[in-house]
Amino acid sequence: MTDILLINPNTTRSITTLVLRTARGFASKGTRLRAVTGAFGPRYIASRVGYAIAGHAAVDAFANDRGAKDAVVLACFGDPGLAALREIAPVPVIGMADASVLQACAIGERFSIVTGGERWKEMLEEFVSQRGLTGRLASVRTVAPSRSRPATCMSSPREPMLSPPGSATSAAASPCRPPSGWARSSTERCTRAGPGPSCAASRSGSPT
């Protein structure tokens, strides 16, 4: 039996449930999956501040998990905390964005990323650049506003992030609010790259 731990570094448990359910649909026989949710930080990662805090939450989730694991999947497109997890984990750690970009490169000459949240554009361009793949990136596009909101949205603009006792992370709640225009239909169109509000779509030939 192979045990795989899925880490959702944001604090939205419904996303953790979605990730686990989707992963089970693709898991091979003999694979046992578990999923954990970040104990503190943003409900939706939409800024560098939220990204940094979510990276801490991912490491914290791993450090506090006592279950058996042969591998870890960082189940958040953008991979906050991936390098740190790989530094401390005695087992392989796979990042959703890292794996998606590499897979896109394997099946096409160039690829594009579609994501929710305007600040992700620059962040993901840097993410791809760090992997030496800028020449393969056709574009990073953020979705247009719509009437739909993702399950990861806060219920109130003033609602703070979940924070550990004595921490000051709640002060960063505002920049970690979800974008106003993430549509569920966009999520459904991007399931090939894994659950969550982003995907890497590959194509051959000219940029998209």
Residue matched to tokens 């578990």: 34
Q: Rounded CA gap, 197 and 187, in Å?
A: 6
In a domain, 197, yes or no: yes
Confirm whether 104 is domain-assigned.
yes
Contact of 95 with 82, CB cutoff 8 Å: yes
Q: How many domains does the chain have?
A: 1
Number of DSSP helices (H) and strands (E) in the chain, helices first = 6, 7
Here the CATH number for the domain that contains residue 30 is 3.40.50.12500
Domain membership of residue 208 (yes or no) is no
Helix 96-107 with 120-130: angle, nearest 10 deg: 70
**Residue 137 pLDDT exceeds 80:** yes
pTM over 0.85: no
Residue 133 belongs to domain spanning:
2-203
Q: Pairing relation of β-strands 2-8 and 31-37?
A: parallel
Is residue 132 one of the residues assigned to a domain? yes
The better pLDDT of the pair 167, 35 is held by: 35
As a whole number of Å, the end-to-end CA separation of the chain is 42
Residue 76 · residue 36 · CB < 8 Å = no
In a domain, 155, yes or no: yes
Question: How far is the C-alpha of 118 from the C-alpha of 141, rounded, in Å?
Answer: 8
pLDDT digits (tens, 9 = 90+) for 3-52: 999 999 999 999 999 999 999 999 999 999 999 999 999 998 989 999 99
Q: Are strands 71-74 and 93-95 parallel, antiparallel or unpaired?
A: parallel
Mean per-residue pLDDT of the chain: 78
- Give the whole-angstrom CA distance, residue 114 versus residue 161: 25
On whether residue 130 sits in a domain, the answer given is yes
Confidence band for 143, pLDDT divided at 50, 70 and 90: confident
Is 33 part of any domain?
yes
- The DSSP annotation for 64-129 comes to H--S--SEEEE-STT-TTHHHHHHH-SS-EEEHHHHHHHHHHHH-SEEEEEESSTTHHHHHHHHHH
What was the pLDDT predicted at 161? Answer: 56
